[in-house]
Amino acid sequence: MSPPRSSRDRPNRPEEPLRVAVIGAGSSGLVTLRALAKRGIAAVGFERGSVVGGLWVRGSDSGHARVYDSLRINTSVAAMELSEFPMPRDCGDYPTHEVIARYFSDYAQRFALDRLVRFRTEVISIQEGEDGYEVASRSLDDGAMRRETFSAVVVATGHHHEPSLPNLPGSFEGPTLHASEYRNPKVPVDFEGRRVLVVGFGNSAVDIASELAERGGARSVHLSTRRGAWVLPRYLLGRPIDGKATIPLWIPGFLRRRIVTSLFTLLHGRMSKFGLPEPDHRIGEAHPTISSELPGLVRAGKISVVGDVAALEPGGVRLADGRFLDVDAIVFATGYRTVFPFLDPDHVRVEDNTVPLFERIFPPEHRRLFFVALAQTTGAIFPIAERQADLIARHLSGEYALPDREEMLEAIEAERRAIARRYVRSPRHTMQIDPEVYTKRIAKELARGQRRATHHRGLSFPSRP
Ligand SMILES: Cc1cc2nc3c(=O)[nH]c(=O)nc-3n(C[C@H](O)[C@H](O)[C@H](O)COP(=O)(O)OP(=O)(O)OC[C@H]3O[C@@H](n4cnc5c(N)ncnc54)[C@H](O)[C@@H]3O)c2cc1C
Ligand SMILES: NC(=O)c1ccc[n+]([C@@H]2O[C@H](COP(=O)([O-])OP(=O)(O)OC[C@H]3O[C@@H](n4cnc5c(N)ncnc54)[C@H](OP(=O)(O)O)[C@@H]3O)[C@@H](O)[C@H]2O)c1
């Protein structure tokens, strides 16, 4: 006789049609709406701004645009394009932010996704109930509030919105801004003739410092880093640097990183050859800093690289090595903090700039809540977000079952330890993923979850009562 079924392994098919709320209509919200639509799952998108595309839309009224005029994507088109929608062939390998914004707008139109989105509508709070989440939203046009229950919520609000600023002692008299506010060398601050300090050594820092030194008319540009970085060119051996890895994945990660670092040093030269500090880690152990311009500008004396800032002073900054640096303006390109203002911290807590998630998607404690693109990848995020959305849609439609809570918690802990082993300790790396490793892992997990679903094992999406 077959054993009685527990509530855990009841049939995977939900009895009633599902209705899912997707918060955010940037690239991640769009791929989620598409994945749900493909499986016939009803969804409503909520978007603060008037258009899709999220942070790529210059001048968007969402308050979330994070582009400067000269921004070009730093993940190549081949690595970033979505599976069902090729990038235009004539846009080059690293197109401008306008091309990226148009690509997502065209994608939304092609699959009629914009029709699913309530624009100018902000989600204020979500609250888990017995049979779903109550989503409270507010119209940004007339302030009208609305409360509705959805079977599930997908959070696709991005994590590059809230500036992270260093807590430095002292005060500085000149203009200061965060990279998210920078638009060009004249806006919002006219940098012409100024001695500028750019703090940070990520992609925002090197892009902004290079622009100010090359075309911005700054009198001098200093770049402050507390650990150095491998500054990688956009191309290597005639190909975009983020092309398929030539070192097979079966070679252990630490060895691959050693080989890549040695080969790169051999072909390109050490960072110190360009006047840059030697990084305190290998390639692949920090989020990549990509710039074909910076090494030449440092070598030409147009940018000077300095160490960590210890304190602000009226006419400049005091560096950690005790030196005083005369500067007139400071750009903090010090990254972002992960925040979810609509989530009660007792429900989902952001710790160390991340949320513990199984496969960077599923919070083990909340079976009706999912996250898309709450990850920092060493490559392009878009195909990753597409795969995550696909997994969510398969879970909702009963094709993919999650493992037990304990197994999810173990996997989360294993991932946390793997990140700590591999990456430089920094809040910017606490949800770092390697796209090749992750893609392979998620494909295996999908196969495992499909078997669980077929055999009524694991955790299926809770059916409506
Ligand atoms: C300057 C910069 C350059 C980048 N370049 C690259 C790159 O080259 N390659 C790459 O792969 N990644 C890059 N990234 C990472 C970037 O985060 C992704 O490219 C991608 O845009 C993230 O998309 P998203 O949809 O997750 O988030 P976003 O694009 O931030 O979209 C989130 C959307 O959610 C909406 N929203 C937020 N809160 C609410 C709410 N409460 N209610 C309703 N709507 C809400 C916002 O209005 C926004 O439209 C870059 C990031 C920055 C800051
Ligand atoms: N062209 C492009 O496509 C482009 C351009 C800009 C940004 N982006 C992307 O946008 C995302 C955000 O990039 P970002 O450069 O703005 O942020 P980021 O990647 O988080 O880099 C922040 C930098 O600031 C440093 N930093 C942080 N806090 C500091 C502190 N208190 N004191 C001193 N230094 C500090 C970090 O150093 P530590 O490593 O020591 O923490 C790091 O060098 C990334 O995904 C990036 O790839 C892409």
Tokens of 380: 């392009």
Ligand number nearest to the C-alpha of 62:
1
User: Considering only CA atoms, which of 311, 318, 316, 313 is closest in space to residue 328?
Assistant: 316
The structure's pTM equals 0.95
Q: Name the residue with tokens 């070679």.
A: 251
Kindly indicate the confidence band of residue 15, based on its pLDDT and cuts at 50, 70 and 90: low
Cα 37 to ligand 1 centre (Å): 21
Q: What is the mean pLDDT of the chain?
A: 94
> Per-residue pLDDT for 448 more than 90?
yes
> For atom 34 of ligand 2, which residue has the closest CA?
200
Cβ(48) – ligand 2 distance below 6 Å? no
**CA–CA separation, 282 and 261 (whole Å):** 6
Cβ(207) – ligand 2 distance below 6 Å? yes
Ligand number nearest to the C-alpha of 371:
1
Cβ(388) – ligand 2 distance below 6 Å? no
Mean pLDDT, residues 51-56 taken together: 98
> Per-residue pLDDT for 465 more than 50?
no
In Å, what is the CA distance from 397 to each residue of 139, 400, 461?
Answer: 31, 8, 8
Cα 270 to ligand 2 centre (Å): 22
Mean pLDDT, residues 321-348 taken together: 97
Exposure string over 67-103, b if 16+ CB within 10 A, otherwise e = bbebbbbbbbbebbbbeeeebeeebebbbbbebbbbb
In Å, what is the CA distance from 350 to each residue of 345, 355, 377?
Answer: 7, 5, 18
Do the bridges between strand 324-326 and strand 316-319 make them parallel or antiparallel, or are there none, so unpaired? Answer: antiparallel
Kindly indicate the confidence band of residue 414, based on its pLDDT and cuts at 50, 70 and 90: very high
User: Considering only CA atoms, which of 80, 57, 74, 65 is closest in space to residue 207?
Assistant: 74
Which tens digit of pLDDT belongs to each residue from 253-285?
899 999 999 999 999 999 999 999 999 999 999
> For atom 25 of ligand 2, which residue has the closest CA?
200
Radius of gyration for the alpha carbons in the chain, expressed in angstroms and rounded: 23
Ligand number nearest to the C-alpha of 229:
2
> For atom 30 of ligand 2, which residue has the closest CA?
166
User: Considering only CA atoms, which of 48, 30, 147 is closest in space to residue 100?
Assistant: 30
Cβ(287) – ligand 2 distance below 6 Å? yes
| Percent of the chain scoring above 90 in pLDDT | 89
> Per-residue pLDDT for 79 more than 80?
yes
> Per-residue pLDDT for 39 more than 50?
yes
> Per-residue pLDDT for 1 more than 50?
no
Do the bridges between strand 19-23 and strand 369-371 make them parallel or antiparallel, or are there none, so unpaired? Answer: unpaired
Cβ(156) – ligand 1 distance below 6 Å? yes
Q: For a pocket test of ligand 2, which of 308, 428, 433, 434 has the largest count of ligand atoms closer than 8 A to its C-beta? A: 428
For the CA of 24, the closest atom of ligand 1 is 34
> Per-residue pLDDT for 9 more than 60?
no
Beta strand segments in 152-259, E: 152-155, 162-163, 176-178, 195-199, 220-224, 231-232, 235-236, 239-240
- What is the predicted pLDDT for the residue at 242? 87
Cα 160 to ligand 1 centre (Å): 6
- What is the predicted pLDDT for the residue at 13? 47
Which tens digit of pLDDT belongs to each residue from 115-146?
999 999 999 999 999 889 999 999 999 999 99
Kindly indicate the confidence band of residue 11, based on its pLDDT and cuts at 50, 70 and 90: very low
Mean pLDDT, residues 294-314 taken together: 97
Cα 177 to ligand 1 centre (Å): 20
> For atom 4 of ligand 2, which residue has the closest CA?
203
Cβ(153) – ligand 1 distance below 6 Å? no
- What is the predicted pLDDT for the residue at 64? 87
- What is the predicted pLDDT for the residue at 430? 96
Which tens digit of pLDDT belongs to each residue from 208-257?
999 999 999 999 999 999 999 999 999 988 899 888 766 777 888 899 99
Burial of 366 (0-12, 13-18, 19+ CB in 10 A): middle
